[in-house]
Amino acid sequence: MRVFVTGATGFLGRRIAPRLRADGHAVTALLLPHEDEAIAPADRVVRGDITQPGSLAGAIDGQDAVVHLAGAVGYGQTFARCSSLNRDGTANVVREALRAGARRFVHMSSVSVYGRVPDVRLTEDAPLRRIGDPYGDTKADAEEIVCEPARAGALDLTILRPTVIWGPGDALFLPKLIENLRSGRARVVGSGRNTVDAVHVDDVAELVAHTLASPVSIGRVYNVNHPHNPTWSELVALAAAAIGAPAPAGRLPYPVAFVAATLMELAAAFTKRPPRLTRYSVRVIGRQYRYAVDRAREELAFTPRVALTPATIAEAVRAA
């Protein structure tokens, strides 16, 4: 299959493209005009920008499938940027895929579309919920955009909703935790007994390969999370051991952490330096979420394999 990949030079794209090539797919990578094609593990490179629809003209011609990864993620994303990349950029890619006749479409979304609802088992049929978060809200917008032509029979669509993605090359999850541990000011948010919601980048790449190989995945949505993640207290202790730092002894109640993160973000707006704690991260780490992952196991025979262990954490830290 000829597969067009957006975001191919990103953390996730650099793992997905070679995984697809290993299955015999011919991968075309979309790169921004300034990006070095040496870091794109693809058979072919085209230049364009998903926020500039004119630059995509003809880019998907001759392709059988699109794997859409490009988007805005991480701290400091404004609604304007997330809307431009996650919502409008997705619309531009979908429009070009439809014009080019590339029916198969795999869209990388996020569990953030559920709106961070704690203590409720969230299957893929749970409603999308907007909570004023630029990332999650615009990812929900993007899902609605890709679903419209799919419902009309113009796209063979699969949506993937991973939790936090980690592994070698990660610049957001473990590196931020390590930075806080090394500062000596890290605290466990909440009780620490809630489990981590995270999945290894290679497992996400594996699921994309399963999806393209499985017609049953057409028209389906899949949550992606490791089913046996440690608690946050356990993860913090493992990460501290990996860098030879003491595990934090103190804890911050969730409401206190949320207020502190709000103040840090306000201060960061003046200092122009990223805050140590954000409201987004407090929501992610401070409460128990329950994302159901049965569907991928039952329909695609897929279960994530790479767990958060001392060895895998140490590997990710070394590669950071």
Percent of the chain beyond pLDDT 90? 74
Kindly report the length of the chain.
320
Is pLDDT above 70 for 58? yes
pLDDT at 66: 98
pLDDT at 76: 62
Query: What gap in Å lies between CA 22 and CA 1, rounded to an integer?
Result: 12
The dihedrals phi and psi of 232, each to the nearest 5 degrees, come to -65, -35
pLDDT tier at 184, thresholds 50, 70, 90: confident
Per-residue pLDDT reduced to its tens digit, 229-247? 999 999 999 999 888 888 8
pLDDT at 320: 62
Per-residue pLDDT reduced to its tens digit, 185-204? 888 999 999 999 999 999 99
pLDDT tier at 149, thresholds 50, 70, 90: very high
pLDDT at 75: 59
| Mean pLDDT within 163-190 | 88
Q: Give the DSSP letter string of the chain.
A: -EEEEETTTSTTHHHHHHHHHHTT-EEEEEE-TTS-GGG--SSEEEE--TT-GGGGTTTTTT-SEEEE-----STT--HHHHIIIIIIIHHHHHHHHHHHT--EEEEE--GGGG---TTSEE-TTSPP---S-HHHHHHHHHHHHHHHHHHTTS-EEEEEEESEEESTT-SSSHHHHHHHHHHT---EETTS-SBP-EEEHHHHHHHHHHHHH-GGGTTEEEEE--TTPPBHHHHHHHHHHHHT-PPP--EE-HHHHHHHHHHHHHHHHHH-S--SS-HHHHHHHSS--EE--HHHHHHH---------HHHHHHHHHH-
Is pLDDT above 80 for 65? yes
Q: Where are the domains of the chain?
A: 2-167+197-226+289-305
How far, CA to CA in Å, does 287 sit from each of 157, 268, 296? Answer: 32, 24, 24
pLDDT at 248: 86
CATH homologous superfamily of 2-167+197-226+289-305: NAD(P)-binding Rossmann-like Domain (3.40.50.720)
What is the torsional sign of CA 7, 56, 4, 41? negative
Is pLDDT above 90 for 212? yes
Is pLDDT above 90 for 156? yes
pLDDT tier at 286, thresholds 50, 70, 90: very high
Is pLDDT above 80 for 112? yes
Is pLDDT above 90 for 272? no
| Mean pLDDT within 261-281 | 85
| Mean pLDDT within 68-72 | 96
| Mean pLDDT within 217-240 | 95
What's the gap between Cα 311 and its chain centre? 23
pLDDT tier at 274, thresholds 50, 70, 90: confident
pLDDT tier at 177, thresholds 50, 70, 90: confident
